[in-house]
A and B are shown apart, each in its own frame.
Chain A
């Protein structure tokens, strides 16, 4: 493979940002991941994933000047790059190809584990 594939958690982080509208601070990303996966997520893990994604050019971050944004503190906003969107599309296609025809086997299974959003 020419480029490194997306790790599962990195995959989830990218999707979480997209769910949040394509731009987000880290805190909402954590909350979003927790809500959708139904399990506790360590903020540090999210940070590490974001850092790695940024090094690979899959997210970009901008540090706000203190005072300009709500809370007045210098938070970093992460946004998904076009390259990342392409990668996600690619991996979704690959997964769907692998999943096709297996639905009868998993009927009713995957969805039931999800917890409700508060």
Chain B
């Protein structure tokens, strides 16, 4: 008989190292026998596999079966499992024995992990994760431009779009959308307001919207004028309880029946709000301050009467043809635009085309803010890691004695390393668990409170990759900083008794490295606090802006009159009797509401950009061809009083200005200055929409293109003389005292007059104004929070390093005190060290701020990134924090009892 095959050597080795020593020899010998048996019975391959299974399972089974039998008293090795458990329980005991350290380390790491993960997840969802479309990058916004006004982002007219679609070769497909709103009256419920998009049949497939039920639009829908509608998933759920039978039913939109042909998933968002907000005007529901979801899609039907070449409501989106660059597309479109300019001089003079990547529109505005947030949160994570590293370093320092004793008793370096590994790991794992929980909470909060401008926020979810990277960074930092010095301590340990001087030198080096870490923390904190300070100052300056109107005490409510019952007949314009009657009744009854001081109806509320129109001044027709368009604001009497717009000269629009009255207009100061200079505008006539209107007054500038944009030139006309053709209106009411009841009273009032109308956008004008800066508030709040965290952590770092220094020099301080040193001097020496640290941190931090200042520039308003006031305030704050943080150890230093200090071994 040949010698039986030997068991796999690696498996056997594994067995011997993982089993407790007192078992290993016996188990191995017996398994060898059994293996030999098996080779005989089943062949060596299966026996080998069996042996491997035993090698892996044996130690685990044994460990799981509970405590091993009483070990031999002289054993040196214990099983791996058991020693890991031992390490862990030792670590837990250690953490519990120093709750302060543990709490600070765990909380700072948890907060950093939580926030970093949440912010990165949002950024990943919004900016980084590929959009549902593989070729989102090939999608282009095709804007019209106006050389007179200098605007580069205007929607096109529908006839222009049709011409471009027919002739442009640069685009594989060119679609258009018109945003609007419609009233929906669900049976037995109050009317609701829906955001509606009219789209050409090319558009939805191009931007990646595919119905989950039913069909998309076809070219025929528009050509045959079919009354069909696609509804959103959420409307489908709300109205039809997700019944498949909904397709084919009719939906009353603005009291006109449309047949539902398909359902569109909610998750699709190509950034329609961003597209609409980017336009110079014609924004529709994008001006609503809350986040809006499109709930209905209609086929865009060309209408030469209602949508002539002079009206520009259509947003064109195109997909570049293969091998066509943006530049080539721009060239072709410019050529085509020039052709149209020649063919239609009345409507297209000075009109060009601007081709721009859709991704730039959708993400361009949020990208800088998000990058700043990512930077800020990464800095916090860094500070937290540095802080924990610092704490661990301090710990390893404090435990040098323990390490030395254990090393002397025969603990090898691996054993020591494992122990410290267990300590760091248990700390970071607890922090990571807390951090994950926190990340979910923070993400939910971010999604709920982020401004409406942030696109695709619904797609943000905690990303496991992000989470694992964050945790890995935290653990890694802990390990590197906690482990390396420990091992050094272990190596140096044996020499301590022989050469105390060497050890002391080493200690000094370690203290220096701790001080360096603290300086790093301080520098990072300075950068964050400086950034936050700049954002706060920008925000404060924004709040100081006088928008020209006074929002306090004003509530607004919007509505839209359907043309079915409020006919829009251009042959009788401006005498739209039904619309005027509604407006009159509404204003009269609103003025009679309790507590109301004044009320008015306007075409657009303050901060709503509205629309612009070309115009001329009678007698100066020649100049007009180079004049920019003017913002036209249609208002009833009481508007200027209600929104607190100051009259400069002349008179405001009042009840005299009826439909039959002489046509009048009021211009703002910007227009008076731009077109009349030092001359007197009153008495001149301004002409647009085929009517000359006498200028009767000049009012102060009112900002309505956002708070940061200076007031554009504007003309106010009586609503009775210039009714809207889309029926849109906003009721503005100024009242004394509590505005809460008005929030319910205004919609009730509107429905009392017309039960089928939906009131929307009901909110205090103050909220509307606040929403205008919501994105800045959001960024500022987050960066401020991060800065506070970093500053607190840096303060702890300073405190830690000084406390340790004091503890180390107890003997020295004791001797000095015994020799009569003044407590004040000792105290100042410690505080001085803290201030020196903060000075170094401040210098590096300011340098870092200057280096990174470009990042912040686009988020600031009214301050430069190198704002001396902010930077000096930051410096002052840092010095205060450092002084406070060092005062505690300074006091401890002077409490040293010389007698005790001299007895204690240094």
Chain A residues proximal to chain B, CB less than 8 Å:
25-28, 30-31, 42-45, 47-48, 51, 54-55, 63, 71, 73-76, 118
Q: Would you give the 0/1 interface string for B23-58, flagging 1 where the beta carbon is closer than 8 Å to chain A? A: 101110111011001000100000000000010011
Contact of A43 among B25, B54, B69 (CB under 8 A): B54
Is A118 within 8 A of B41, CB to CB?
yes
How distant is B78 from chain A, measured CB to nearest CB, in Å? 16
Residues on A with C-beta less than 8 A from B26 are 26, 63, 74-76
Interface size class of B (residues with CB under 8 A): 10 to 19
A47-B27 contact given A31-B37, A55-B69, CB 8 Å threshold: yes
12 additional contacts (CB under 8 A) given A27-B33, A75-B25, A118-B41: A27-B29, A30-B34, A31-B34, A43-B30, A43-B58, A44-B54, A45-B61, A47-B62, A51-B69, A55-B69, A63-B26, A74-B26
Is B29 within 8 A of A51, CB to CB?
no
Is A26 within 8 A of B30, CB to CB?
yes
* Candidate in A26, A27, A73 with the most chain B CB atoms within 10 angstroms: A27
Is A48 within 8 A of B30, CB to CB?
no
How distant is B342 from chain A, measured CB to nearest CB, in Å? 92
Q: Is the interface of B mostly helix, strand, loop or mixed?
A: helix
Is B25 within 8 A of A73, CB to CB?
yes
How distant is A36 from chain B, measured CB to nearest CB, in Å? 15
Contact of A42 among B27, B33, B41, B57 (CB under 8 A): B57
B68 located at the interface, meaning its Cβ lies under 8 Å from any Cβ of chain A in the complex: yes
Inter-chain CA distance A76–B24, complex, in Å, is: 11
Inter-chain CA distance A47–B566, complex, in Å, is: 93
A-B contact pairs, 19 of them (CB 8 A): A25-B30, A26-B27, A26-B30, A27-B29, A30-B30, A31-B34, A42-B57, A43-B34, A44-B54, A44-B58, A47-B23, A48-B61, A48-B62, A54-B69, A63-B26, A73-B25, A74-B26, A75-B30, A118-B41
Residues on A with C-beta less than 8 A from B58 are 43-44, 47
Residues on A with C-beta less than 8 A from B33 are 25, 27-28
Residues on A with C-beta less than 8 A from B54 are 42-44
B904 located at the interface, meaning its Cβ lies under 8 Å from any Cβ of chain A in the complex: no
Residues on B with C-beta less than 8 A from A25 are 29-30, 33
Inter-chain CA distance A10–B166, complex, in Å, is: 89
Is B62 within 8 A of A44, CB to CB?
yes
Residues on A with C-beta less than 8 A from B622 are none
From residue 751 to 802 of chain B, which have CB atoms closer than 8 A to chain A?
A: none
How distant is A43 from chain B, measured CB to nearest CB, in Å? 6
Inter-chain CA distance A54–B30, complex, in Å, is: 18
Is B61 within 8 A of A74, CB to CB?
no
Inter-chain CA distance A54–B26, complex, in Å, is: 16
How distant is A87 from chain B, measured CB to nearest CB, in Å? 20
A27-B69 contact given A44-B58, A44-B61, A118-B41, CB 8 Å threshold: no
Inter-chain CA distance A55–B68, complex, in Å, is: 10
Nearest residue, chain B, Cβ from A51: B69
Inter-chain CA distance A74–B27, complex, in Å, is: 10
Closest 10 CB pairs of A and B: A44-B61, A27-B33, A27-B30, A48-B65, A73-B29, A26-B30, A76-B26, A44-B58, A74-B25, A27-B34
Inter-chain CA distance A48–B65, complex, in Å, is: 7
Residues on A with C-beta less than 8 A from B62 are 44, 47-48
Nearest residue, chain A, Cβ from B58: A44
Residues on B with C-beta less than 8 A from A27 are 29-31, 33-34, 37
Residues on B with C-beta less than 8 A from A43 are 27, 30-31, 34, 54, 58
Inter-chain CA distance A30–B50, complex, in Å, is: 14
Inter-chain CA distance A91–B84, complex, in Å, is: 41
Is B29 within 8 A of A75, CB to CB?
yes
Nearest residue, chain B, Cβ from A28: B33
How distant is A40 from chain B, measured CB to nearest CB, in Å? 9
Inter-chain CA distance A42–B23, complex, in Å, is: 16
How distant is B40 from chain A, measured CB to nearest CB, in Å? 9
Inter-chain CA distance A54–B34, complex, in Å, is: 22
Nearest residue, chain B, Cβ from A77: B26
Is B29 within 8 A of A44, CB to CB?
no
Residues on B with C-beta less than 8 A from A73 are 25, 29
Residues on B with C-beta less than 8 A from A30 are 30, 34
Nearest residue, chain A, Cβ from B27: A47
Residues on A with C-beta less than 8 A from B41 are 118
Residues on B with C-beta less than 8 A from A55 are 69
* Candidate in B31, B34, B37, B61 with the most chain A CB atoms within 10 angstroms: B34
Inter-chain CA distance A75–B23, complex, in Å, is: 9
How distant is A30 from chain B, measured CB to nearest CB, in Å? 6
Nearest residue, chain A, Cβ from B53: A42
How distant is A96 from chain B, measured CB to nearest CB, in Å? 31
Residues on B with C-beta less than 8 A from A71 are 29
Inter-chain CA distance A55–B70, complex, in Å, is: 9
Inter-chain CA distance A55–B58, complex, in Å, is: 20
Inter-chain CA distance A24–B33, complex, in Å, is: 13
How distant is B55 from chain A, measured CB to nearest CB, in Å? 10
How distant is B468 from chain A, measured CB to nearest CB, in Å? 34
Inter-chain CA distance A52–B331, complex, in Å, is: 88
Nearest residue, chain B, Cβ from A50: B69
Nearest residue, chain A, Cβ from B57: A44
Is B25 within 8 A of A42, CB to CB?
no
Inter-chain CA distance A84–B26, complex, in Å, is: 23
Nearest residue, chain B, Cβ from A41: B34
Residues on B with C-beta less than 8 A from A26 are 26-27, 30
Residues on A with C-beta less than 8 A from B57 are 42, 44
Is A42 within 8 A of B61, CB to CB?
yes
How distant is B72 from chain A, measured CB to nearest CB, in Å? 9
Residues on A with C-beta less than 8 A from B37 are 27, 31
Inter-chain CA distance A27–B4, complex, in Å, is: 16
Residues on A with C-beta less than 8 A from B68 are 51
Residues on A with C-beta less than 8 A from B25 are 73-75
Residues on B with C-beta less than 8 A from A63 are 26
How distant is A42 from chain B, measured CB to nearest CB, in Å? 7
Residues on A with C-beta less than 8 A from B29 are 25, 27, 71, 73-75
Inter-chain CA distance A55–B67, complex, in Å, is: 11
Inter-chain CA distance A73–B29, complex, in Å, is: 7
Residues on B with C-beta less than 8 A from A54 are 69
Inter-chain CA distance A45–B58, complex, in Å, is: 9
Inter-chain CA distance A45–B29, complex, in Å, is: 16
Inter-chain CA distance A48–B33, complex, in Å, is: 18
Inter-chain CA distance A44–B37, complex, in Å, is: 17
Inter-chain CA distance A55–B65, complex, in Å, is: 13
How distant is A60 from chain B, measured CB to nearest CB, in Å? 12
Nearest residue, chain A, Cβ from B54: A43
How distant is A16 from chain B, measured CB to nearest CB, in Å? 14
Inter-chain CA distance A103–B849, complex, in Å, is: 92
Inter-chain CA distance A26–B25, complex, in Å, is: 12
Nearest residue, chain A, Cβ from B65: A48
Residues on B with C-beta less than 8 A from A47 are 23, 27, 58, 62
Inter-chain CA distance A55–B410, complex, in Å, is: 31
How distant is A69 from chain B, measured CB to nearest CB, in Å? 10
Residues on B with C-beta less than 8 A from A48 are 61-62, 65
Inter-chain CA distance A27–B34, complex, in Å, is: 6
Inter-chain CA distance A31–B36, complex, in Å, is: 12
Q: Would you give the 0/1 interface string for B279-296, flagging 1 where the beta carbon is closer than 8 Å to chain A? A: 000000000000000000
Nearest residue, chain B, Cβ from A44: B61
